[in-house]
Amino acid sequence: MAMFAVLLLLAAPLLPPAAAQRPPGCRRQCGNVTVPYPFGIGARCHRGEGRGFRLECDDTRHPPRLTVAGYGHEVVAISLASAEATVLLNASRACYDRTSGSGRVLDRREYPMALNGSAFLFSSMKSKFVAIGCPDLAYFVDDGGYYVTGCMSVCRPSESALPGSCRGGDGCCQSNIPLGLASYRPHVRSFGRRQQQQGGTFLANSTGCAYAFMVDAWWFWYAGSHFNRTGDFAVPVVLDWAIRGAGAGDSCATVRENATAYACRSAQSVCLDSTNGPGYVCNCTSGYEGNPYVLGGCNGTTLARKKIRWTPVANCRSCVPEGICRHLSSRCIRRCAPGVSILGSCALARLPIETFQAHLLDAR
């Protein structure tokens, strides 16, 4: 969950209901995904006049497909409490000729993702850049074409394998991503595949294809040994969202000066400064839950009645309400309580890995 600096506001400004919540008749569901305000499906159903919070629902798909308007990225989960959304992204790949020893590229497909002008930024806390393949050199640039980050992976001979997980020497590597990132253009490159030049130094257990993708780090670890795929496949990516730009104010301190643009509508709400780019988000105050972006949206909590138990664990990533953290084999696994509304990336833990293995995005 993204961390924010908290500023309590004693009272939310009173505005006409039309300005404080979505108009009547707007859809709240697309397939299995619930769309909470400030997001909305179609024109005039979302916050603001731009397309920052506008989503679209393609009912010709089975099940219907929710996408970010103007961008086409498929949305599979939205959380108000953690100010996050999860989208699907195709993995980029390059496949090589291994029979002749030339290492020439037989097929290359690279899938970028742009978020400029939207409410979203890539989550630097929950998303990672990952490359898999032997050998593989992958990196990505921003919309200006400037290098952001990358990594290199190789495979040592099986009898000389080194301990570790996704650290570069086991056919997998990963890199952190910076704050404020709104665009991603990956590149998958070859090195050491010409046997006559390298003498096989990088060719131990070589793979025919190499892959690179942005991915939910927690989901990638959860996939573990199940992550053995070829061809086209999609992975989940966590995005942070916030009320940004267009008169919204860059922080809780500045937005107080513009009551008409203030997004925290419920009287039981707090304003929180985003630590990933400019802007702010809203949360219900302690003891309340619901939607702080609409009038009367925060109600008395029912967590006590749900009898959700919490297990404190050292070195465990923060759990969300309706979730349980426990320690397992020196790692923390988030388990979700059955039959309740799951927040944030915990929703993905309820979906089988095969859901993403079989889910192919259209090439763009």
Which has more confidence, 142 or 193?
142
Query: Quick one: pLDDT at residue 196?
Result: 46
Furthest-apart CA pair in the chain: how many Å?
74
> What is the number of alpha carbons within 13 Å of residue 241 lying toward its C-beta?
27
Q: With 50 as the cut, is the pLDDT of residue 345 above it?
A: no
* Secondary element (H or E) of residue 215: strand 209-216
Q: With 70 as the cut, is the pLDDT of residue 358 above it?
A: no
Query: Quick one: pLDDT at residue 364?
Result: 27
pLDDT band for position 360 (cuts 50, 70, 90): very low
Query: Quick one: pLDDT at residue 256?
Result: 73
Which of 128, 156, 65 is closest to 361 using CA atoms? 65
Query: Quick one: pLDDT at residue 162?
Result: 60
Look at residue 162 and give its three-state secondary structure. coil
Sheet strands (E) in 59-182? 65-68, 74-79, 84-90, 92-96, 105-109, 113-114, 120-122, 127-132, 136-141, 147-153, 172-175
Query: Quick one: pLDDT at residue 153?
Result: 84
Q: Please, which residues have CB within 8 angstroms of residue 297's CB and are 6 or more apart in sequence?
A: 21, 265, 266, 269, 284, 290, 291
Burial 12-42 (b: 16+ CB within 10 A, else e): beeeeeeebbbeeebeeebeebebbbbbbbe
Looking at residue 337, its amino acid is: A
Query: Quick one: pLDDT at residue 210?
Result: 87
Exposed, middle or buried: residue 152 (CB in 10 Å: 0-12, 13-18, 19+)?
middle
Query: Quick one: pLDDT at residue 42?
Result: 87
Dihedral, 166, 169, 170, 174 alpha carbons, nearest 10:
20
Segment 328-353 mean pLDDT: 35
Residue 242 CA to its chain's centroid (Å): 14
Exposed, middle or buried: residue 205 (CB in 10 Å: 0-12, 13-18, 19+)?
middle
Which of 2, 275, 245 is closest to 117 using CA atoms? 245
Which of 67, 359, 75 is closest to 234 using CA atoms? 359
Instruction: Answer for the pair 274, 280: CB distance below 8 angstroms, yes or no.
Output: yes
Query: Quick one: pLDDT at residue 189?
Result: 83
**pLDDT for 18-65, tens place per residue?**
345 667 789 999 999 999 999 999 888 999 776 689 999 999 998 999
Q: List, in sequence order, every residue forming a beta bridge with 150; answer none if it has no partner.
A: 139
Q: Please, which residues have CB within 8 angstroms of residue 247's CB and are 6 or more apart in sequence?
A: 258, 261
Query: Quick one: pLDDT at residue 90?
Result: 92
Query: Quick one: pLDDT at residue 150?
Result: 94
Average pLDDT along the chain: 73
pLDDT band for position 192 (cuts 50, 70, 90): low
Instruction: Answer for the pair 30, 64: CB distance below 8 angstroms, yes or no.
Output: yes
- Rounded to two decimals, the pTM is 0.75
Query: Quick one: pLDDT at residue 75?
Result: 95
